[in-house]
Structure 1
Amino acid sequence: MPLDETARGVYVIAPTPFHADGRIDEASTDRMTDAFLEAGCDGMTILGVMGEAPKLDQAEALDLSKRIIRRAARANVIVGVTAPGFAAMRALARGVMEAGAAGVMIAPPPSLRTDDAVAAYFRQAVEAIGEDIPWVLQDYPQLFQVQMTPGIIRRIIAECPSCVMLKHEDWPGLEKISALRGFQAEGSMRRISILCGNGGIFLDFEMERGADGAMTGYAFPDMLVDLVRLSAAGERDAAHDLFDAHLPLIRYELQPGIGLAVRKHVLRRRGIIASDAQRKPGSALSAKAVQEVEYLLARVGRHDPRARLAPL
């Protein structure tokens, strides 16, 4: 179904599985898709930052998207289409929507410095891909170096009716969620779905501030599913207890530079992907870092059996 403002739950950010020689691992891609849906995820977001999208050429990106969309037939798939130019953005966006994607995700280029420039960019992006495609506004200033206040987000939503979701990754960002839901309550902004990223590092309180769920790639998306469910049910202490048990590993995985290596290591250890390889250029865990991750898994495993993995 096309993405709309009612979307909620967990849309897991999927990595791209590779063989050691850099080829896309199709068997692991299928297994990963199945595992994420069996974990209870409501959808998947592919070709994002952690999907190593810039390392894929246009044909690979479209082929990978089609494969996951077919495999995840019962779930929504959002495809990151951010590109240096609108021609490439349009080609990928139209291609994945024709294949059955639920929507696309667009991030701003780092060159934007004023609210007017930000608003103009997204109007032009919508013109390029087509107003019929629902899309997600990615707000990740730590990476993209573009600051979007609640006011400019409200303006983008007003000027671009096909924007139905915010991927909220500002940090600190709890007050931004409250401000946006405040705009909605007073009637100055239409409702949009808000899903949160940043590895889930603030998801416990983001849910309480009005987020609809998570769009992130922590190596235990099944835990994120449980956390969102508990929060939505008002089981505050149970939600925070679960979050607290995983927080040390969430924090470790959030490190710039090696975060994807940590995530792929744990996904491999869980049997979800066959290799933790990244396409070059990429990072790798040192032997010491592997020991630290394994220590953290053992600690999480004291509280959550999903982390009790066989020793290396």
Structure 2
Amino acid sequence: MLDNTQGLHVVAQTPFLPDGAVDHDSIATLTDFYHGHGARGLLVLGVSGEAQTLTPDEAVAIAASYVAASYDLPVIAGVSSPNLAILAEITEQVRAEGVAGVMIAPSAGVRTEEDLLAYFDAVFTRIGDVPTVLQDFPASNGVLMSVPAMARLLETFPQIAVIKEEDMPSARKVAALRAAAPRPVRILTGNNGLYLPQELARGADGPMAGFSYPEMLSGVDRLLREEGDSAGAHTLFNRYLPLLKHEAQGAMGIALRKEMMRRRGALAHATMRAPGAALSADDIAELDAILTHMDLPA
């Protein structure tokens, strides 16, 4: 179950070999890396995990590999799809492989509050009693979910155990959801961790984000949410901010993150599957220049 979800849940990369095939060996080293740097769970098959480039069979196999390597960390699989039949089929298969739950964002066709209720009614009619993360990410799917509408979803569908909050301004919405939720719910935040200190201060339960230094995300969460050390949390966050900001560049940011994680030994290749971004010599030079001024650990 996802009822006790707290702390860093890393948005895991999908590693590829230079020819574009899935690199299952690097899934093990990535999981070691995430675990060693404070992850309490993983989100696989997300947007930053290049799920849109995978076949359904590949997606299920990747989820299975992460579960097998996960040290009993809960693994959540992103299953969002405009095709509910595919969503339901992948959900059934990844659950059979041992994932703790799934993450679902409403389809881009949802426009009204009644559309939203009808959409999730159709989803849960198909997938049943599966623990679910509700992803609120209008920048990706164009769906605006108001706080009252999300409260109605929580009232209606007990399967929703976690909200991944990525609407802007995210910290304000975290606070509003915390106040309006009709029952206890965990709230994790994304947006590449760019607003993590503010979101935690407003009541978030941790980050669900990717960064090539996940120890910063877990450290800020521990200092601010568990130890109440706001000054220490902001000092740690600010140390990594230039690179964090540089990685927050959509597909290019994923390529930069993969290159950093290759350098840190977490995966063998920085390959993104086409049509994903590839780094140019100038991109590498910019990354090196940023790192020169940051003095970060290996």
Equivalent residue, structure 2, for 1:230: 223
Deviation track 1:40-99 (CA, whole Å, cap 9, x = no partner) reads 200000000011112111111111111110110410000001112111111111111122
Q: 1:70 to 1:163 in 2, by over 3 A?
A: same
Counting only pairs closer than 5 Å after superposition, residues 281-300 of structure 1 correspond to structure 2 as 281-300=275-294
Equivalent of 1:28 in 22, 26, 33: 26
2:154 paired with 1:157:
yes
Q: Deviation at 1:103? A: 0.4
Q: Deviation at 1:156? A: 0.9
Equivalent of 2:134 in 131, 137, 153: 137
Q: Deviation at 1:140? A: 0.6
Q: Distance in 1 between matches of 2:34 and 2:79?
A: 21
Counting only pairs closer than 5 Å after superposition, residues 230-309 of structure 1 correspond to structure 2 as 230-232=223-225, 233-301=227-295, 307-309=296-298
Using the TM superposition, name which of 39-48 and 244-253 deviates more: 244-253
Q: Which amino acid aligns with 1:297?
A: L
Deviation track 1:162-199 (CA, whole Å, cap 9, x = no partner) reads 00000111122221111111124xxxx11111010011
Equivalent residue, structure 1, for 2:200: 207
Residue 300 of structure 1 aligns to a residue whose secondary structure is coil
Equivalent residue, structure 2, for 1:304: none
Q: Distance in 1 between matches of 2:116 and 2:23?
A: 37
Residue 35 of structure 1 aligns to a residue whose secondary structure is helix
Q: Distance in 2 between matches of 1:242 and 1:38?
A: 18
Q: Distance in 1 between matches of 2:30 and 2:118?
A: 37
Q: Distance in 2 between matches of 1:292 and 1:308?
A: 19
Q: Deviation at 1:292? A: 1.7
2:122 paired with 1:124:
yes
Deviation track 1:107-141 (CA, whole Å, cap 9, x = no partner) reads 111121111111211121111111x2100000111
Residues 171 and 198, structure 2, Cα contact 8 Å, conserved in 1 = yes
Q: Distance in 1 between matches of 2:114 and 2:270?
A: 42
Residues 297 and 308, structure 1, Cα contact 8 Å, conserved in 2 = no
Q: Which amino acid aligns with 1:250?
A: L
Residue 273 of structure 1 aligns to a residue whose secondary structure is coil
Equivalent residue, structure 2, for 1:46: 44
Residue 112 of structure 1 aligns to a residue whose secondary structure is coil
Q: Deviation at 1:286? A: 2.1
Counting only pairs closer than 5 Å after superposition, residues 44-83 of structure 1 correspond to structure 2 as 44-83=42-81
Q: Distance in 1 between matches of 2:260 and 2:106?
A: 30
Equivalent residue, structure 2, for 1:105: 103
Q: Which amino acid aligns with 2:26?
A: S
Q: Deviation at 1:256? A: 2.7
Q: Distance in 1 between matches of 2:284 and 2:207?
A: 27
Residues 259 and 270, structure 2, Cα contact 8 Å, conserved in 1 = yes
Q: Deviation at 1:275? A: 0.8
Deviation track 1:185-242 (CA, whole Å, cap 9, x = no partner) reads xxxx111110100110000110000000000111111111111000111000000001
Residues 298 and 308, structure 1, Cα contact 8 Å, conserved in 2 = no
Q: Normalising by the residue count of structure 1, what TM-score does the alignment of the two structures yield?
A: 0.92
Q: Distance in 1 between matches of 2:45 and 2:250?
A: 18
Give me the CA root mean square deviation: 1.2
Residue 155 of structure 1 aligns to a residue whose secondary structure is helix
Q: Which amino acid aligns with 1:115?
A: E
Q: Distance in 1 between matches of 2:168 and 2:279?
A: 26
Q: Distance in 2 between matches of 1:157 and 1:33?
A: 31
Structure 2 residue runs of 5 or longer lacking an equivalent are none
Residues 77 and 94, structure 2, Cα contact 8 Å, conserved in 1 = yes
Q: Which amino acid aligns with 1:295?
A: A
Q: Which amino acid aligns with 1:153?
A: M
Q: Distance in 2 between matches of 1:222 and 1:75?
A: 16
2:191 paired with 1:192:
no
Q: 4+ residue runs of structure 1 moved beyond 6 angstroms?
A: none
Equivalent residue, structure 1, for 2:164: 167
Q: Which amino acid aligns with 2:212?
A: A
Residues 148 and 180, structure 2, Cα contact 8 Å, conserved in 1 = no
Q: Distance in 1 between matches of 2:237 and 2:120?
A: 35
